[in-house]
Amino acid sequence: MQIGIGILLQQAKFGTAAPVTPWLIDGGVWSDAGVWDDAATWDDGGVSWTNPNLATASYDSVSLSVSSVDTQPVDVSFNDDGTKFYFVGATNKKVYQYSCSTAYDISTATKDTAEASISGQITNARGLNFKPDGTKLFVSCSINNAIYEYNLSTAFDISTASYSSNSLSITFGSNGSHCMTNDGLNIYVIDGNDDVLRYTLSTAFDLSTGSYTAIVNNLVETSETSPSGIFISPDGTKLFISGYASDLVTQSTLSTAYDITTASYDSISFSVGSQDGVPYGLFFKPDGSKMYIGGLANQTIFQYSTDNGGVSWTNPDLTTASYDSVSFSFATEDTFVHDVAFKDDGTKMYIIGAGNDSVFQYSLSTAWDVSTASYDSVSLSVNSEEGAPSSLFFKPDGSKFYIAGLGQDTVFQYSMSTSWDVSTASYESKSFSVAIEENNPRDVAFKTDGTKMYILGVASDRIDEYSLSTAWDVSTASHTTNFSIASQEANPQSLFFNPDGDKVWIVGSANNTAFQYSLSTAWDISTASYDSVSFSVSSQMTGASGIEFKSDGSKMYVCDIVNDVVYQYST
């Protein structure tokens, strides 16, 4: 039998249509750490959501066993400031309350005496969420195909909960997995057919006023055949689903914010199978930096970090870009510098050059300011693999890097025992030849989850796309499609994808210009088209050879193979 799980979504703001300013509610700014005032306005508590980066997510080695309380912790939740933790148990049909001495750290949780029995309505509990002010609780039931509403006379005190006699019947064979928007006007449900449905409440937080409004069919089947949780980001552009068939948390993008009918799977996922083979429920900390999963196999709640450094990417606007009058020379270390890369926090910079066929490492005393760079006296020769290296790409967690070059027309893979420390790097004896598609490769890039690779080449003046059957293992690559950029640049040297995979920039030495493209399907290069947006760097250089952006998109870096200098721009 297909089982679904409900999820708390007190972080998200939805409307019947995408709002102009997604986080505004009745003139107030949405934030998870705030409170409702008398005018029904959510007050900003200063917390800003950043979309979780599943590509760099990691287990915190933090968990909370609840086996002595209930053997089926099917969903989890927190109060508005993270000092109270809740889970609903399917075995005893109760909601349990814990106190956290450190907010959102479940390793500091201790059980309160407060609990709420829901057995009068619920026969098979599956999900829960709170109204943001803590005065209402909503629990879904898979057997009854319904969501039930409870009133709390004392906010977030589960012992004061009582059934309001309001419920919402979920049709289409639903198992009860649900999330509710912060304004209390929308509910999203995963049903038994792996569909995502939307229900609208004409009166906020009143289930008796709910009605079915929209459906997206079979969205989950491509990523998870047994979904167990659902979460939509506060800006309505990302959909996260957990499931126990593949033990994954998966990500989809909504091309129209908050409209689930525009959702498509991003081929981005994170496995929680090493912690529990039957993951249930899904909750994100209000800033998106932590994720929580309930595990039925071990009767335990698990905590993960999804933080990408607290940085939210905004697509650069090349039409307003300008040179910072900031640069740094690599000439002492290498000549013919082809490419530049940065550590995720901007405190380290790396280059690769054809003069010494090596990767060189630098420290920046001010993050992302190349004028503060200094050589670490750390390098790694790649001459044994490639005598004319032209590209350098780091895995997002800094544990691997990849190079390609003109001599072998091959991508080579290296690992670092200490992330971001090139002195600990070694060749993994893994490689992939791209010579059939491109005999003059100039740059290599990867999708954020490592399941796709891209090669930019001069011989073909195009971007070639490859699929990796094993993420981040280049030896498992196979060619899929390509996209020509010949109309813009006859000597392309470098490319950069944004974190969502719907934008790509290239730079070349024929025009010494950065060109921008959009992908109508994220990470599918065959859907790319030129945006007619560009930015010339010819005032600074004559041999543009590498392009990189700051993690929030606000800075652009282009290196010059003629003068072996990297230049910094504001975007």
Q: Which domains does the chain have, with CATH numbers?
A: 53-305 (2.130.10.10), 331-570 (2.120.10.30)
* pLDDT tens-digit series, residues 478-491: 999 999 999 999 99
Task: Name beta bridge partners: 96.
Answer: 87, 115
Q: Kindly report which listed range (61-70, 249-258, 360-369, 462-471) carries the lowest average pLDDT score.
A: 249-258
Cα dihedral 402, 404, 349, 502 in deg (nearest 10): -80
Q: Kindly report which listed range (56-70, 178-192, 451-465) carries the lowest average pLDDT score.
A: 178-192
pLDDT value at position 132?
Answer: 87
What is the spatial distance between Cα 213 and Cα 240, in angstroms, rounded to a whole number? Answer: 21
Q: Kindly report which listed range (302-311, 405-414, 453-462) carries the lowest average pLDDT score.
A: 302-311
Q: What percent of the chain has pLDDT above 90? A: 59
The CB-side HSE value for 400 (13 A sphere, CA atoms) comes to 21
Q: Kindly report which listed range (149-163, 203-217, 329-343, 517-531) carries the lowest average pLDDT score.
A: 203-217
Which range, 22-31, 67-76, 162-171, 372-381, has the best average confidence (pLDDT)?
A: 372-381
Would you tell me how many other CB atoms lie within 10 Å of the CB of residue 536?
A: 13
Q: Is the pLDDT of residue 232 over 70?
A: yes
Q: List the Cα angle 463/469/474 in 5-degree steps.
A: 60
Helix/strand/coil for 277: coil
Helix/strand/coil for 475: helix
CB of 286 closer than 8 Å to CB of 306: no
* pLDDT tens-digit series, residues 377-416: 999 999 999 999 999 999 987 889 999 999 999 999 999 9
What's the rounded mean pLDDT across residues 358-375? 96
Q: Is the pLDDT of residue 463 over 70?
A: yes
Phi-psi region of 61 (alpha: psi -120 to 50; beta: other; left: phi over 0): left
- Top pLDDT among 339 and 4 is at 339
Q: Kindly report which listed range (45-49, 346-350, 471-475, 544-548) carries the lowest average pLDDT score.
A: 45-49
pLDDT band at 471 (very low <50, low <70, confident <90, very high): confident
Q: Is the pLDDT of residue 258 over 70?
A: yes
pLDDT value at position 34?
Answer: 38
* pLDDT tens-digit series, residues 108-161: 999 999 999 999 998 888 888 899 889 999 998 888 888 999 999 999 999 999
State pTM to two decimals: 0.56
pLDDT band at 221 (very low <50, low <70, confident <90, very high): low
Put the strands of the sheet holding 58-65 in their side by side order: 58-65, 300-305, 290-295, 279-284
What is the spatial distance between Cα 481 and Cα 43, in angstroms, rounded to a whole number? Answer: 48
Cα dihedral 472, 477, 479, 482 in deg (nearest 10): 20
What is the spatial distance between Cα 221 and Cα 483, in angstroms, rounded to a whole number? Answer: 29
- What does the buried/exposed string (b/e) look like for 194-208 if buried means 16 or more CB atoms within 10 Å of the residue's CB? bbbbbbbbeebbbbe
- Top pLDDT among 178 and 151 is at 151
Helix (H) or strand (E) segment spanning residue 178 = strand 174-180
What's the rounded mean pLDDT across residues 231-257? 80
Q: What would the DSSP string read from start to end of 253-288?
A: EESSTT-GGGEEEEEEEEE-TTT-SSEEEEEE-TTS
Q: Is the pLDDT of residue 46 over 50?
A: no
Helix (H) or strand (E) segment spanning residue 374 = strand 373-381
Residue 227's identity, in one-letter code, is P
Burial (Cβ within 10 Å: 0-12, 13-18, ≥19) of residue 231: buried
What is the spatial distance between Cα 130 and Cα 9, in angstroms, rounded to a whole number? Answer: 8
Q: Residue for token digits 């070694």?
A: 426
Q: List the Cα angle 282/58/398 in 5-degree steps.
A: 145
Nearest 5°: phi and psi at 431? -155, 170
Residue 267's identity, in one-letter code, is S
Helix/strand/coil for 536: strand
CB of 258 closer than 8 Å to CB of 15: yes
